[in-house]
């Protein structure tokens, strides 16, 4: 969740270390963004993921848009209402 104050710690240290210890080359770091502030930083988190090559692992970061600025998926009736970016 984007409310967790340890987002940077997770992407910079925890996931790469877990990958190294378990000998996994590819990792996914996903952040559920409830706030505009954190969702607008998704490029920053993607950069953090790609620049961390300490253990020679690959990390991809995905920000999930959970902000309350859109219709419920069950109420959408057309492609235009889907708001996919």
Look at residue 22 in the predicted model and tell me its pLDDT. 94
Write b or e for each residue in 39-74: b if 16 or more Cβ atoms lie within 10 A of its Cβ, otherwise e: bebbeebbebbeebeeeebebebebeeeeeeeeeee
Residuewise pLDDT in 10s, the chain (85 residues): 555 667 888 888 889 899 999 999 999 999 888 888 888 888 888 888 887 667 788 899 988 888 887 667 788 888 877 766 5
- Angstrom CA distances, 9 to 23, 57, 66, 71, stand at 20, 16, 22, 33
Q: Which two tokens stand for residue 55?
A: 């253990």
């Amino acid at each position: 969740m984007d409310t967790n104050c340890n987002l940077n710690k997770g992407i910079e240290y925890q996931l790469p270390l877990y990958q190294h210890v378990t000998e996994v080359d590819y990792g996914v770091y996903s952040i559920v963004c409830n706030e505009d502030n954190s969702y607008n930083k998704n490029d920053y988190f993607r950069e953090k993921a790609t620049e961390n090559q300490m253990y020679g692992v690959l990390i991809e970061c995905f920000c999930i848009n959970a902000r309350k600025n859109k219709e419920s998926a069950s109420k959408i009736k057309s492609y235009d209402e889907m708001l996919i970016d």
